[in-house]
Structure 1
């Protein structure tokens, strides 16, 4: 019995997402135990940010030039080698900051090619009427992996050392590679032009849709505010709500909320899905405001569940709207612009958190940022395309040709 392409990708990606959680823990532990401290860790993280900024748009172009799974395989193999090199470095006690920064940059740069390809591939795996369910399933798996991965990674690193965490991550990339190699679906690809021309084509595809370009600008504002909040709420949780245990409970609540939001998206399928998504994103300010009032752990936990449920439902609605309305041959580039605007904004918010809280006070900054979250979502409802975009369950005219019947039959969820 053949495994459907959707299930293959879901299995491979879930293992990879869990494995990434192992590396997140292993990297911090390895650097600190090697005597690097926060300065070295900051340089490693900065190397990753620079690589992400440099590579994301080019990753989108290559995702639209080649078969998406081929780009994913190349990315996974590069990340496998980078994770294995990190494991070797720390198991041999040969810590070198410059080499570690280089490996982190290579790994993140490769991921910048993987993500747009993954976005371009997904709508090919299921019929149009199942896209929302497919996106919800991936969101549920990713959210669960982001909770399980660091938890399992912490136990593994504590028992066997940081090298074990890197090794598990390398093996997870191998699993993802095997799954991608087994995919049978194929995308239609046209003639190539210059890199800059193709980048510009991706932006033109965005700019001619009011709901898409408006959403990207609002998402940028949203992620700046959220970047500030994500720093400050950690401080509040540790200083006011009970320390590390409180932070752990809140993180678990955020994961639970994400799973619930994805579960709702599996069942609730309004015709104006994008409008519903922006409405549910209005729940996120409740999470941020709970840290200010009533500023009790139970209220923050409840706010985290509600807010993150709304956030993940929005993510499903946004991804589905893009897949429904952007030609498949342009999805990689459109996805890369989407990733880039979000990625630029979040670190900017992280940097601003400290100076703003010192100048104006943590509670005041949280209130303002919660207002920005709400405003960035509410303003989208003023855009005609956002309000009126309706799911027609038909693919754009320039998408890949229909799959053979035998492939369609095995692409169910």
Structure 2
């Protein structure tokens, strides 16, 4: 038996979950770069609030910094899609990585020299918001190209498994860095991960190129091109119904997760702060478990039911949580919620890659992200007001029931229920 034949046979014997690592150099490059980048972002995600409060001791300042990041991120998304579909995606991602790397090192330098102010941090947050608004649609479109049909399910699952793993490790390391050294050091580590991501993206050459399937002789305006993804989405019931539904489902689920659950842990149940961290870690464990299970098979049937029932299971778990004063059971419930949410996320990701042509993927991804993110700040404000008006437990029950009602309505549509 020749070495080449032996190599082919060994690849055939690789479990389905790990096939992307063996079959695709492009996947390895994209996966390694993104995994490390998420790790760095997870570190700074826990450090930024500590840094802001050390500078100002103000919750208003924290809200200002987050708005400075989120607003340009949302505003650029409609335009990011057409940019992603017009230029080399790998080059665009490398550009954003270099800029984000520079911003991270600037924060580190200013912080260590004692010159960092809340105004400078907010200005850098604006730049980072713009860069992330460009990077995410490009990364989504690149996944659609690199995650080819033969490895798509496993590639999406492995990608999500690594992301959840980094989101578990990153905050713990971030807290250790602040305790042992200083907060700015975390931004230096984040900058290094962006640099590694940039190097990994150098291995993606032809994958970043845009291949036009059809040449359109008609000229269209830039604004019309920016929203061209809407026309593509309208042609498929699964796409437009799901994006529309999750504009509202996300308001309910993220409002519960970000606003009400911290209140539930610290005020309603009077648990120590570390219990909140333990309970929330269950969400990442559940998501990782879903990714592992999803990646064990090349294809899944009844994807519409799997996706929406996953969200329904999470909504049911939210309904039980106010009546359970046991940290272990609460952690288990958040694990179930994470498993259900990730089941939806993986089905959605693979369905986008199956249904949308590569040359239009950036525009569709940007519209998808706009639908997911645009109303979330409004949802946070509404959830806070609603919980204050009727009580946290009542608000959690109402929002959970509303989530289940929206899912039931969507599943009444045959194209959603029978999506395979």
TM-score, normalization: structure 1?
0.90
Query: What CA distance in whole angstroms lies between the structure 2 residues aligned with 1:129 and 1:189?
Result: 20
Superposition deviation, residue 281 in structure 1: 1.8
Deviations 1:169-194 (A, max 9, x none): 11111111111111134343447853
Contact 1:18/1:148, CA 8 A, preserved across alignment = yes
**Does residue 292 of the first structure (1) align with residue 292 of the second (2)?**
no
**Does residue 259 of the first structure (1) align with residue 288 of the second (2)?**
yes
Contact 1:210/1:383, CA 8 A, preserved across alignment = no
Contact 1:286/1:303, CA 8 A, preserved across alignment = no
User: Aligned to 2:151, what secondary structure does the other structure show?
Assistant: helix
Number of residues of Structure 1 aligned to a counterpart in Structure 2: 390
Match of 1:84 among 92, 105, 128: 105
Query: What CA distance in whole angstroms lies between the structure 2 residues aligned with 1:134 and 1:241?
Result: 41
Query: 169-178 vs 90-99, which deviates more?
Result: 90-99
Query: What CA distance in whole angstroms lies between the structure 1 residues aligned with 2:197 and 2:134?
Result: 14
User: Aligned to 1:379, what secondary structure does the other structure show?
Assistant: helix
Query: What CA distance in whole angstroms lies between the structure 2 residues aligned with 1:367 and 1:137?
Result: 34
Which position in structure 2 is the counterpart of 1:393? Answer: none
Query: What CA distance in whole angstroms lies between the structure 1 residues aligned with 2:270 and 2:85?
Result: 47
Matched ranges for 1:362-401 at <5 A: 362-390=392-420
Deviations 1:201-246 (A, max 9, x none): 1111111211111101111111111232121111111121512121
**Does residue 188 of the first structure (1) align with residue 210 of the second (2)?**
yes
Superposition deviation, residue 280 in structure 1: 1.8
Match of 1:146 among 167, 170, 174: 167
Match of 2:144 among 117, 123, 127: 123
Query: What CA distance in whole angstroms lies between the structure 2 residues aligned with 1:16 and 1:364?
Result: 39
Query: What CA distance in whole angstroms lies between the structure 2 residues aligned with 1:385 and 1:286?
Result: 24
Superposition deviation, residue 2 in structure 1: 11
Contact 2:86/2:210, CA 8 A, preserved across alignment = no
Which position in structure 2 is the counterpart of 1:343? Answer: 373
User: Aligned to 2:363, what secondary structure does the other structure show?
Assistant: helix
Superposition deviation, residue 118 in structure 1: 0.7
Deviations 1:343-364 (A, max 9, x none): 1222222112221112111111
**Does residue 232 of the first structure (1) align with residue 260 of the second (2)?**
yes
Which position in structure 2 is the counterpart of 1:242? Answer: 271
Query: What CA distance in whole angstroms lies between the structure 1 residues aligned with 2:286 and 2:144?
Result: 25
User: Aligned to 1:129, what secondary structure does the other structure show?
Assistant: coil
Query: What CA distance in whole angstroms lies between the structure 2 residues aligned with 1:169 and 1:193?
Result: 40
Contact 1:124/1:185, CA 8 A, preserved across alignment = no
- Give the gaps of 5 or more residues in structure 2: 1-21
Query: What CA distance in whole angstroms lies between the structure 2 residues aligned with 1:380 and 1:327?
Result: 25
Query: What CA distance in whole angstroms lies between the structure 2 residues aligned with 1:302 and 1:382?
Result: 30
Contact 1:23/1:153, CA 8 A, preserved across alignment = yes
**Does residue 164 of the first structure (1) align with residue 185 of the second (2)?**
yes
Superposition deviation, residue 3 in structure 1: 7.2
Query: What CA distance in whole angstroms lies between the structure 1 residues aligned with 2:181 and 2:220?
Result: 50
Contact 1:290/1:296, CA 8 A, preserved across alignment = no
Contact 2:87/2:210, CA 8 A, preserved across alignment = no
Matched ranges for 1:22-61 at <5 A: 22-61=43-82
TM-score, normalization: structure 2?
0.88
Superposition deviation, residue 335 in structure 1: 0.7
Contact 1:202/1:330, CA 8 A, preserved across alignment = yes
Query: What CA distance in whole angstroms lies between the structure 1 residues aligned with 2:339 and 2:24?
Result: 30
- Give the gaps of 5 or more residues in structure 1: 391-413
Superposition deviation, residue 27 in structure 1: 1.6
Which position in structure 2 is the counterpart of 1:4? Answer: 25
